[in-house]
Amino acid sequence: MKIKNWLMISHFLVMLLPMVAIYLLYLSLNNYDEKQDLKEYLEFQEIAMDLESELKDPSLYHVQPRENYEQVFHLADDHLKIDLYRYDGVQLFSTLDPSGTAQLSRTNVEHLFKNLNEYEKNPRTYSTKQLVFDDQDSPIGVYEITQSRHAWVETSNKRTIIMVGLSGAFFLALYIMVVFAINRKLNRPLHRLQNHMKAFAAGKKPHEPLPQSKDEIGVLNHHFEQMKAHIMETRHALARQQREKEYMVASLSHDLKTPLTVIRTYAEALENHDLAEEEREEYKKVLMDKLDYMKQLINDLAIFTALQSDENFLNIVQVNGNEFFEMLFSGYDEACSNKNIQPNIDVRVRNAYMLDPKQMIRLVDNLMDNSIRYTPENHNIGLAGVASNQPLPDWVFPEFTEEIDTWRNDGTVILIQNEGKGIKPSQLEKIFHPFYQDDASRGKGATSGLVLSIAKMIIEKHEGKIKMKSTENKGTVLACWFKE
């Protein structure tokens, strides 16, 4: 149950309880009053009739000594009171005033004759007033008989005490239940959540998991777990980025050290005036090659950093599929012919795509330069763009055809395949890491070690994926998938 609903119900019960208690007391007393009313009325009427002969004595209704009322005094008891009045309102006698201090006090005549000759019931008494006449039938006085309803009063007092006791017990029980429920639904869950927050802030593991209830505390716990997971993910990402930056700095320092050493050596050598012109031109060419490599290294690092930090790095536009891929795959004939490499280019794409042309050109250029570099002379290299409804080219290595065909569902793939040495399985797991190069390539000016990392980031920013498969001493195929 929601805490809000639970609190509303509890508040309603606490407000309703007093009204229920009063109503039950009223029903109890009313039921008892109905049963006892007739009985008490008849009993009082019988008492009044028994006293009538004594109290209608005309001799009692004139001023006289207190002793003359002794007989009337003995007619009363602790629950029965008798008052005698003269016709003009003077009180002659009262059994509640045996000393006679209130004798001859005057009562309002109008009040005295009110409800005369009637039996009147009050919450605590029954009473009646009767007119007394003399021998000539002239009114000479009034007597009033009042009997307390002691049985009803005692019963009502007992029931009131019982109801008050029961109400108090119910209040106490309700209070204990509310305190227990508040502790169970609020205090304990909030205390547990507080402990989890302290443990998370201190980097410790909490002793017990957070409860996953359906109330507001459960929702709060769920949001806290989501926030904690997000923070942990952010922490891991920051730690990973920090490790990558440290690795990048170390790798960049290592990769820059060799060309800088070569540049320094050849620059010092150029200061030697005894060098032949042919040697001087050769040294200059080496210097320019090393400077180009350093420039490419810095450019790749800038692109890699931009792809990591800029969410809006891409400029997505719609392009014509055939025209764009024909342009994208052109311009590699000369680089291939310089190594006597035979290129196999195949375009089997759809009519239109949403992509960033500039980044796709950078992607294919980097991957093709990398593939051409690692393809031995007189071997083949393949480049293809294949839509999901088109078959793969025949030149794809047979051992990878089925896997790539399944992997490329609902998308277009760019395939770059080169024959050659291939890549070891242990290296395939790290091939897309920034600055990763095998021991044979590192420090020799081959690549910056960011080509495949940049390719992976470009494809992923196109909501695509990248995959590499290789067979040692046969070759490597790299597939880039993006949605159609």
- pLDDT score recorded for residue 318: 93
| Residue 382: closest CA among 350, 404, 421, 414 | 414
pLDDT tens for 135-149 read 888 999 999 999 988
Residues 6+ apart with CB under 8 A from 282: none
Mean pLDDT for 248-253 is 70
Is residue 30 domain-shared with residue 109, that is, in the same domain?
Answer: no
Last residue of a domain, one of 284, 310, 336: 310
199 is a domain residue: no
Is residue 331 domain-shared with residue 444, that is, in the same domain?
Answer: yes
Last residue of a domain, one of 310, 328, 355: 310
Residues 6+ apart with CB under 8 A from 465: 459, 480, 481
- pLDDT score recorded for residue 43: 87
| Residue 450: closest CA among 291, 300, 282, 319 | 300
192 is a domain residue: no
CATH (domain of 139)? 3.30.450.20
pLDDT tens for 415-444 read 999 998 888 888 887 888 777 665 445 444
**Neighbour-count burial for 50-61, b at 16+ CB within 10 Å, e otherwise:** ebeeebeeeebb
Is residue 166 domain-shared with residue 49, that is, in the same domain?
Answer: yes
Other C-beta atoms within 10 Å of 398: how many?
A: 7
197 is a domain residue: no
Amino acid at 398: P
| Distances 379 to 68, 271, 299, 348, 422 between C-alpha atoms, Å | 152, 42, 30, 24, 13
- pLDDT score recorded for residue 440: 47
- Asked if 99 and 67 count as a contact pair (C-beta separation under 8 A), the reply is no
Mean pLDDT over each residue of the chain, to the nearest integer: 83
pLDDT tens for 27-53 read 776 776 667 777 888 888 899 999 998
pLDDT tens for 59-105 read 998 888 888 888 888 899 888 999 999 998 888 888 887 666 556 78
CA 134 to chain centre: 94
Is residue 173 domain-shared with residue 109, that is, in the same domain?
Answer: no
Is residue 243 domain-shared with residue 118, that is, in the same domain?
Answer: no
Is residue 412 domain-shared with residue 281, that is, in the same domain?
Answer: no
385 is a domain residue: yes
- pLDDT score recorded for residue 442: 45
- Tokens 């763009």: give the residue: 385
Percentage of the residues of the chain whose pLDDT score is greater than 70: 89
Question: What is the domain extent for residue 4?
Answer: 1-55+149-183
pLDDT of 345 higher than 90:
yes
- pLDDT score recorded for residue 443: 44
pLDDT tens for 288-334 read 888 888 887 787 777 777 777 656 677 899 999 999 999 999 989 88
Last residue of a domain, one of 283, 310, 337: 310
Is residue 177 domain-shared with residue 262, that is, in the same domain?
Answer: no
Which of residues 245 and 461 earns the better pLDDT score? 461
Q: How far apart are CA 387 and CA 412, in angstroms?
A: 4
Is residue 127 domain-shared with residue 161, that is, in the same domain?
Answer: no
pLDDT of 1 higher than 60:
no
Question: pTM for the whole thing?
Answer: 0.52
